Structure 1
């Protein structure tokens, strides 16, 4: 008697079907389904490419090298997922929003938990370096009502493109990071510095792959938000500088048109004095809309 997993002999024509049949005894139905879909598409791609044995061995060596680059502080496979657009695709599938709601994007590798909470309007730049920036706006629900008490976790790179955790002993701890709470009218405000574009780690196999593909490793200037409020879905997102030279070619595909906000240079003396700055500064105004759970 032929069992379910004994569905014929392996051939070029039926390769995916034979492999899928062998998985019929899987106890986890979701695992079986996902593996079979992956096998189907991988086999189809290999057939379309007519991959040589030498090319497949180079692929194995690339994946091996990628694994060797992973350690406690670096995950090269996540980087590979990012530059292939897979991270953003998974994010998009899992964060489908109703019309009018703010869009999400990738978390990134430099978030730090338990950052000190600061009073509204505080300066998150602790070392005084960079071009001053003020960020303000409101957080609303999809009906346009303000949301009070939203926890706003923000962080950014400095004017050289580095996060504090990348420059221990150079930048102060918690530099350019802060947690704030919205007021009754949903408003928020904090100070920072104008961020700069920076490269993702490109000294490993993923960086070599980007170079071979004629791609650069840069992310356009941005800063990060995590917005949390009782009764609402948590939003992980960025704000981007639309004038950045890499705005249309983000190495990890994180840019969305709705997440771009103008970095307006304020130079008028009366506006500078009113805002409490000593000289010109950049003003970023952006509202967010959260979705109820």
Structure 2
């Protein structure tokens, strides 16, 4: 059947009624978005002749896979698309420069210790080498941002994050800190070397990637939020440029300008990386997205 079936009076009437666009009350923006999303699903059903059993198997997949939505969203490119869309809007507004943004991922935990000076991120024993990372936070004119806070978090050598570790062996803020930079905008930390990892074997994301003929691996990487009054909050991460998955990250988190190659010495390494912030144009720019985040 042709997808024009969705344009029929009966289906268009159903869309209006289901989305509430004809009723009083409610949120007009949410109604319009809901209508378009439902219509897109209907068009896909007709285009690919999705039968009833296929539809309900898909619903079951999403119901059972709900705990992994934070992985599925980057895995199918939606989270990276949001970055591309924000980049395009910035370009249209004449906002250029700064360290590239990239995906946050689902594994941030609020309330990490606020520290300063020479910082050690790792609280737990980990049989691997040392990562040393340092650099500065600067504004668009190269000025040091001496009141910045650098939020940093990464996995351990097994590819597990504290708070989300299936072994239950890590303390809540292992490899997690908020670092107050010095007056010159400089930060420095050491930790035990993180490794790349794959999505949970046999989970919803793994099954979806297998169905798409894709893998679920990420390169070794370190996540950051950078916040400072008067500047746009930056969400980004650096990915180890010599990792075999640096050019094939299942979550599309690798971007040009975010791929430093570590200076390796045995199983240890050092990375120098400077962050460049953009100036805030609204109060909203200085905040974080309203994404739900874990607390410990």
Say yes or no: does 1:19 pair with 2:14.
yes
On the 8 A contact 1:202/1:217 being kept in 2, the answer is no
**2:287 aligned with 1:288, yes or no?**
no
Distance 1:198 1:177 in 2: 18
Structure 1 position 119 matched with structure 2 position 116? yes
The match for 1:5 is none
- What SS class does the counterpart of residue 146 from structure 1 fall into? coil
Contact 2:6 2:12 in 1 (8 A): no
Distance 1:59 1:195 in 2: 35
8 Å CA contact retained: 2:209, 2:216: yes
Contact preservation (8 Å) 2:65, 2:203: yes
What SS does the aligned partner of 2:60 have? helix
1:54 equivalent to 2:46? Answer: no
1:200-233 CA-to-partner distances (Å, cap 9, x unmatched) read 2243233212112221111111011111111112
TM-score between both structures, scaled by the size of structure 2: 0.80
- Count of equivalent residues: 265
> Is 1:42 aligned to residue 41 of structure 2?
yes
> Is 1:101 aligned to 2:127, yes or no?
no
> Which whole-Å deviations, capped at 9, do the CAs of 1:166-221 have from their partners, x for residues lacking one?
16653344222222122222211111233211112243233212112221111111
Structure 1 equivalent of residue 182 of structure 2? 183
Deviation at 1:145, TM superposition (A): 1.2
Query: Is residue 2:81 matched to residue 1:89?
Result: yes
Which whole-Å deviations, capped at 9, do the CAs of 1:251-271 have from their partners, x for residues lacking one? 22222122111111258xxxx
Gaps of 5+ in 1: 1-9, 68-74, 268-279
**TM-score (norm: length of structure 1):** 0.81
SS in 1 for 2:249: coil
The gaps in structure 2 that reach 5 residues or longer are 281-296
2-side partners of 1:124 and 1:60: how far apart?
41
* Structure 1 outlier segments of 4+, above 6 Å: none
